[in-house]
Amino acid sequence: MKFAAQRLNRIHHGAGFAALHAALAICRERRIVWLPLVDAPERRDYSAEGYSRIKAICAAKMNAKLLHDLKELLGPDAVLHRPEELMLYEYDGSVETARPDCVVFPRTTADVEGIVRLAQQHKAPLVGRGAGTGLSGGAIARHGGIVTSFARMNRILEIDAENQIARVQPGVVNSDLSAAVAHLGLHFAPDPSSQKACTIGGNVSENSGGPHTLAYGVTTNHVLALEVVLPTGELLHLGNSALDSPGYDLTGLFVGSEGTFGLVTEITVKLTRLPEAVKTLLAIFDTIDDATETVAEITARGITPAACEMLDGWTIRAVEDYVHAGFPLDCAAILLIDVDGLREVTEVEAAEVEDVCRVHRAREVRVARDARERDLLWKGRKNAFGAAGRVSPSYYTQDGVIPRTKLPATLRRIGEISRKYNLQIGNVFHAGDGNLHPIILFDERNQQQFRDTVAAADEIIAFCVQAGGSITGEHGVGMEKDRLMPLIFSEADLSLMQSVRGIFNPEGLLNPGKIFPDSKGCGEIYARPRREGAAPSARQS
Amino acid sequence: MTLVASSTATRLADISGSLNVIHDPEQLAAYEIDRMLPAAAVKPGSRDEISEVVKFCAAEKLAVVPCGARSNLSMGAPLARYDVALDLTRLDHILAYDPGDLTLSVEPGIPLQRLAGVLAGHRQFLPLAVPFLNRATVGGTIAAGVHSPLRQAYGTARDFLLGLEFITGQGAHAKSGGLVVKNVAGYDLHKLMIGAMGTLGVITKLNFRTFPALSATRVFTASFTSAENALSLRQRAVQSPLRLLTMDILSPGAVEVLAGQVAARFEAGPAPVDRLPPGKWAFHATFPTAGTATARYERELKHMAEESGCDWCEICGDDRNPASFGRLREFVPIVLESSPATVVVKMSVRPSKLGGILASVADVAQKNDVRWAAAVGGLGVSYFSLLPSARDEQARLSVEKICEKVLADCARLSGNATIPWCPSEWKSSMKIWGPERADFEQMRKLKNVFDPVGILAPGRFAGGI
Ligand SMILES: Cc1cc2nc3c(=O)[nH]c(=O)nc-3n(C[C@H](O)[C@H](O)[C@H](O)COP(=O)(O)OP(=O)(O)OC[C@H]3O[C@@H](n4cnc5c(N)ncnc54)[C@H](O)[C@@H]3O)c2cc1C
């Protein structure tokens, strides 16, 4: 136990999302509840002009009566409210923080309905939370209030193998579902790199993608039905397990709404048959241009690999040091490509992919010999963010999208931006989708460097938009990119979207201050508070 | 022409030019919906004109129905009012096409076939093999929410529509999604527009991901004496590693209709259904040809069919069966012309429930002495069509009884059932959108946000929207 505590301490000093992620992983692995014992600084005042309703809500302090009622409803072990207990819930995977007033752990839909009723009575803001791995501040209680953690609503309710359908509670961890149906030859196709920690509720809220969503589609393509509790207290059933529910596609609207419409309490998903054969290719390049041009040509030739990921030289070296996946240390970029399906088809496709790589001067193309080698390569990819966390005090993961024909130009531009600000930027991303994830390294103790980091990130996103792309491909807008929404949407678009939110979340009580630039100017993001002198310790529960 | 009609036409002419406004009753007949005629039809030439038209209609509380080639206008509940037909066929341009990125942006009025020609030039396509393919426009297809046999492999528009622009019921320009294959910025309002039948907004631009064209495909057909056996082949195929492009099961009535003269008028040339003996259920699948995989598909499909108790099966290329896929795609138009009073019920249940539901519908149709034909999609979505021999009160009563039973059965199995196609004069007594659902209330609220005055195709949609 002491060992875990020491590791947690060390990690916590690292701060940033890497810290949280690692800490969560350890807590999960060891089945401990982490209660850092540290006095909390005052919750920051997030009130903003022009958002008076939210301001009024914020003003409602968590009162003793509400806490009492919540404990009455859920039991005392399902309510956290002491500052030291709340610390872990200040974060998600992003660079944002804010302190909730309490965290509650429902087990049933009825619990959630009860929580919502109380929040209504007390006009307390409500925020849903899965595993807190989100990268845009979605699960952060920007205006305080009640964080509803779905960690204990983690039951798989139904597996219908014949029809390839599963019904789950939102707190089920993504990879747990796939593991539970693997013996049936099935899996849940959306596979975010965080899949060992993130929840299906979080995936639904963010409409998450992953390496293999290139061929299989993102979360929304796999969700059939939802049960949700609106912040008004209403319980809704959207869609159903048969296809084509009559009427407007409310399920499609709710997926990706970033927890601003309702709390999702049950999810019906499609399960996908595991492919008969998978071939994993590792293509090694001496220039980034060669790698990006390869991706553009794979796309243009009409080959759809199951996954097509790129890591640049800097990232490869960071990963190799950490995971020992067998990536070459002296190259400029690698592509990690899966082709899957019928054995005969994968043979042909793998040969085609290899051909394109060679045309674009791949130094070497390796094909994983067996499942072990394949898993190791993928482990390297999926731990890339964690690897970045080991070499830098903090880092900022960006998420932008561009047309795939613009990959070479965009990567060149990111290189220029890196030089302009003198910041190390690593690139590890879903190349086949044109979904970039530049990782900008910085030291949070250096305020100027943090400002430069945000400026560099903004320049990258602006370039994506100029190239015809989007400000986020899978991490969501949250409280990170609300101010960037006007880059792609007009005021009228945004106000229509807000009116739609108003249908389900009329008072803005649920997840306030997210997605829309109405909540906050840029100041907040830039003035990130430093957590100094925090001396957390862990204890077993 | 009434005074209102003439002043409407004048105002519309101010916006789009008199050449683009139709108010002659004879010409307006082309815009008839459920025996209602509009006072005028207008063909705007730009997004701004559309916005002007809608603003005018909102101010005057005139009901406006957007339309493309008008192939799917008979779908849905009867309109509450119908004043202006908003014909979008002049907006028929490709706005952007990046073949290297496999993305495409088009105006709504472009005919699917013309678009297919352009995409084929780059060896790409959109998997919208929908009914009325020879006429339908892209916008109308998306707004009608019709699906295609290719959904087995490619999903529906929901899976490849990347974004769109539209004009709200107040004439405001709005946008959702983008023109990249992955994007989570903002709410997915464009998903609401699919199948909304123009009740939420007028679509002015659609962004799609395109797909590499299919190399030659082959068709597998097997016949069975019972639905159960055909369904057991479906189950085997789903659990096999094969990735079929289409998979459908046809009832004996559907085989008969698809082999008949009406069908041949739609798609001439031979099709495997022509060779099937009467009274059989058919399993029909398409698969890609790809080197050695082709032989594997053939071998395994045959083997699975035998295991499922087929009494005949055949595999052949497109060359020998040019009409095979087309007839399947045009199933709805073909059944619509195969009876004076065709009613099509769209049912969907979990696939394992298909056997039960098919037995029940066969039974009730037989008891009421109405000819029927069912095309059952591999994913559990079926078109169950009733083909009464007359369009009279007696036929209506029989059909109504059958529909009631089918709707109740689907509801009992937690499935869905609607009646997308039905003779106009029968609509008022049918549950076109199926039983009232709890979420219809949220839909009404949505409608109110997008179209507060209630001028966009009022009455046509689920929940009385
Ligand atoms: C190392 C790492 C790798 C990642 N890789 C990927 C990737 O490849 N692809 C990708 O798309 N993302 C990736 N992410 C981002 C993140 O993991 C996903 O967004 C994930 O879906 C979030 O799930 P979560 O359970 O952690 O949700 P949280 O972060 O807890 O919450 C996310 C949002 O969902 C809401 N929410 C959660 N549960 C509910 C509920 N039941 N009802 C209503 N709202 C709810 C929250 O309010 C919040 O707005 C990565 C993150 C990390 C740290």
Q: Which residues of A fall within a CB distance of 8 Å from B147?
A: 244
pLDDT tens figures, A461-506: 999 999 999 999 999 999 999 999 999 999 999 999 999 999 999 9
To the nearest whole Å, the CA of A10 is away from the closest chain B CA by 35
ipTM: 0.97
Judge contact between B378 and B237, C-beta under 8 A: yes
Distance A229 CA to ligand 1 centre (A): 19
pLDDT tens figures, B144-158: 999 999 999 999 999
| Dihedral sign (CA A251, A200, B180, A519) | positive
Give the nearest ligand 1 atom to A171 CA. 41
**Partner B contacted by A413 (CB < 8 A):** no
Residue A391's alpha-carbon distances to A10, A173, B103, in angstroms, are 14, 28, 38
Give the nearest ligand 1 atom to A150 CA. 41
Judge: domain A35-149, CATH 3.40.50.620: no
For B339-357, letters b (16+ CB in 10 Å) and e give: bebbbbbbbbbbbbbbbeb
Residue-level pLDDT at B164: 97
Nearest to A18 by CA among A393, A341, A291: A393
Percent of chain B with pLDDT over 70: 99
Residue-level pLDDT at B2: 67
Q: Are B183 and A503 an interchain contact pair (Cβ–Cβ within 8 Å)?
A: no
| Dihedral sign (CA B365, B370, B376, B381) | negative
Q: Are B191 and A401 an interchain contact pair (Cβ–Cβ within 8 Å)?
A: no
Residues with CB under 6 A from ligand 1: A 21, 92-93, 127-135, 138-139, 150, 170, 192-194, 198-199, 201-203, 205-206, 208-210, 258-259, 263-264, 385, 474-475, 511
Give the nearest ligand 1 atom to A478 CA. 49
Distance A295 CA to ligand 1 centre (A): 27
**Partner B contacted by A403 (CB < 8 A):** yes
Mean pLDDT of B227-249: 97
- Type of residue at A453: T
Identify the closest residue of chain A to B97 by CA–CA distance: A403
Nearest to B424 by CA among B77, B42, B50, B9: B77
Judge contact between A302 and B124, C-beta under 8 A: yes
Residue-level pLDDT at A62: 59
pLDDT tens figures, A308-356: 999 999 999 999 999 999 999 999 999 999 999 999 999 999 999 999 9
Find the CB nearest A348 among B98, B235, B290.
B290
Residue B128 clears pLDDT 80, i.e. is over it: yes
Between B440-450 and A491-504, two packed helices, what is the crossing angle to 10 degrees? 150
> What is the residue whose two structure tokens read 């949280």?
A20
- Type of residue at B186: G
Strand B84-87 with B64-67, pairing = parallel
Cβ contacts of A274 within 8 Å, gap of 6 or more: A182, A185, A186, A187
Residue-level pLDDT at A518: 67
Q: Are A493 and B186 an interchain contact pair (Cβ–Cβ within 8 Å)?
A: yes
Q: What is the mean pLDDT of chain A?
A: 86
Mean pLDDT of B28-43: 96
**Partner A contacted by B356 (CB < 8 A):** no
Mean pLDDT of A268-288: 97
For A487-514, letters b (16+ CB in 10 Å) and e give: bbbeeebbebbbebbebbbebbbbbbbb
Identify the closest residue of chain B to A247 by CA–CA distance: B462
pLDDT tens figures, A44-85: 333 333 334 444 444 445 578 999 999 999 999 999 999 999
The domains located in chain B, with CATH, are 3-89+452-464 (3.30.43.10), 94-130+137-145+154-212 (3.30.465.10), 225-331 (3.30.70), 339-429 (3.30.70.1130)
Confidence of residue A523 (pLDDT cuts 50, 70, 90): very low
Q: A88, A198, A323, A509: which to mutate for ligand 1, most atoms within 8 A of CB?
A: A198
Distance A414 CA to ligand 1 centre (A): 26
Question: Quick count: other Cβ atoms within 10 Å of Cβ A235?
Answer: 16
Distance B196 CA to ligand 1 centre (A): 30
Q: In this structure, what token pair is assigned to residue A455? A: 């400026």
pLDDT tens figures, B261-314: 999 999 888 888 888 888 999 999 999 988 889 999 999 999 999 999 999 999
Task: Say which CATH class A156-273 falls into.
Answer: alpha beta
List the beta bridge partners of residue A270: A165
For A383, the 3-state DSSP assignment is: coil
CA distance linking residue A150 with residue A78, whole number of Å? 11
The H-or-E segment that residue A388 falls in is helix A384-391
Q: What is the mean pLDDT of chain B?
A: 95
**Partner A contacted by B102 (CB < 8 A):** yes
Cβ contacts of B126 within 8 Å, gap of 6 or more: B104, B112, B115, B116, B119, B160, B208, B210, B211
Distance A477 CA to ligand 1 centre (A): 12
Judge contact between A451 and A462, C-beta under 8 A: no
Find the CB nearest B184 among A206, A245, A341.
A206
Query: Which runs of E-coded beta strand occur in B103-255?
Result: 103-106, 124-125, 161-167, 173-177, 202-209, 211-212, 217-224, 246-250
Nearest to B188 by CA among B446, B434, B409, B378: B446
For A281, the 3-state DSSP assignment is: strand
Q: A97, A193, A204: which to mutate for ligand 1, most atoms within 8 A of CB?
A: A193
Find the CB nearest B293 among A213, A236, A342.
A342
| Nearest Cα residue to atom 2 of ligand 1 | A194
CATH 3.30.70.2190 residue ranges for chain A:
277-385
**Partner A contacted by B124 (CB < 8 A):** yes
Q: Domain A277-385 belongs to what topology?
A: Alpha-Beta Plaits (3.30.70)
pLDDT tens figures, B85-121: 999 999 999 999 999 999 999 999 999 999 999 999 9
Identify the closest residue of chain A to B352 by CA–CA distance: A163
Percent of chain B with pLDDT over 90: 91
Mean pLDDT of A74-100: 92
Q: What is the DSSP string of A287-337?
A: SHHHHHHHHHHHHHTT---SEEEEEEHHHHHHHHHHH-----TT-SEEEEE
Judge contact between A303 and A353, C-beta under 8 A: yes
Q: Which residues of B fall within a CB distance of 8 Å from A488?
A: 178, 185-186
CATH 3.30.465.10 residue ranges for chain A:
156-273
| Nearest Cα residue to atom 43 of ligand 1 | A263
Question: Quick count: other Cβ atoms within 10 Å of Cβ B307?
Answer: 12
Find the CB nearest B181 among A248, A253, A433.
A433
Q: In this structure, what token pair is assigned to residue A346? A: 């994968």
**Partner A contacted by B100 (CB < 8 A):** yes
Number of CB pairs < 8 Å for A and B? 233
To the nearest whole Å, the CA of A539 is away from the closest chain B CA by 39
Strand A146-149 with A223-229, pairing = unpaired
pLDDT tens figures, A19-39: 444 444 544 444 333 332 222
CA distance linking residue B86 with residue B74, whole number of Å? 16
Judge contact between B138 and B130, C-beta under 8 A: no
Q: Which residues of B fall within a CB distance of 8 Å from A476?
A: 184
Find the CB nearest B290 among A162, A345, A476.
A345
Strand A277-285 with A263-270, pairing = unpaired
Mean pLDDT of B165-192: 98
Find the CB nearest A247 among B213, B292, B463.
B463
Q: Are B186 and A345 an interchain contact pair (Cβ–Cβ within 8 Å)?
A: no
Q: Are B185 and A488 an interchain contact pair (Cβ–Cβ within 8 Å)?
A: yes
Nearest-5° angle of CA B230, CA B235, CA B238? 125
Nearest to B219 by CA among B301, B153, B162, B159: B301
Phi/psi zone of residue A144: left (φ > 0), alpha (ψ -120 to 50 degrees), beta? left
Residue-level pLDDT at A95: 82
> What is the residue whose two structure tokens read 């200040």?
A90
| Nearest Cα residue to atom 1 of ligand 1 | A194
CA distance linking residue B209 with residue B227, whole number of Å? 36
Judge contact between B16 and B84, C-beta under 8 A: no
CATH 3.30.43.10 residue ranges for chain A:
35-149
Find the CB nearest A473 among B182, B211, B418.
B182
Burial of B103 (0-12, 13-18, 19+ CB in 10 A): buried
For B399-424, letters b (16+ CB in 10 Å) and e give: bbebbebbbebbeebebbbbbbbbbe
Residue-level pLDDT at B450: 98
Between A371-382 and A313-323, two packed helices, what is the crossing angle to 10 degrees? 120
- Type of residue at A304: T
Distance A134 CA to ligand 1 centre (A): 4
**Partner A contacted by B380 (CB < 8 A):** yes
CA distance linking residue B45 with residue B22, whole number of Å? 14
pLDDT tens figures, B181-210: 999 999 999 999 999 999 999 999 999 999
CA distance linking residue B437 with residue B236, whole number of Å? 34
Q: Which residues of A fall within a CB distance of 8 Å from B192?
A: 248-249, 252-253
| Nearest Cα residue to atom 49 of ligand 1 | A138
Q: Domain A392-527 belongs to what topology?
A: Alpha-Beta Plaits (3.30.70)
Q: Are A493 and B191 an interchain contact pair (Cβ–Cβ within 8 Å)?
A: no
For A399, the 3-state DSSP assignment is: coil
Cβ contacts of A380 within 8 Å, gap of 6 or more: A311, A319, A320, A323, A325, A326, A327, A336
**Partner B contacted by A184 (CB < 8 A):** no
Helices (H), A39-91: 52-59, 64-74, 83-86
CA distance linking residue B431 with residue B227, whole number of Å? 27
Residue-level pLDDT at A538: 27
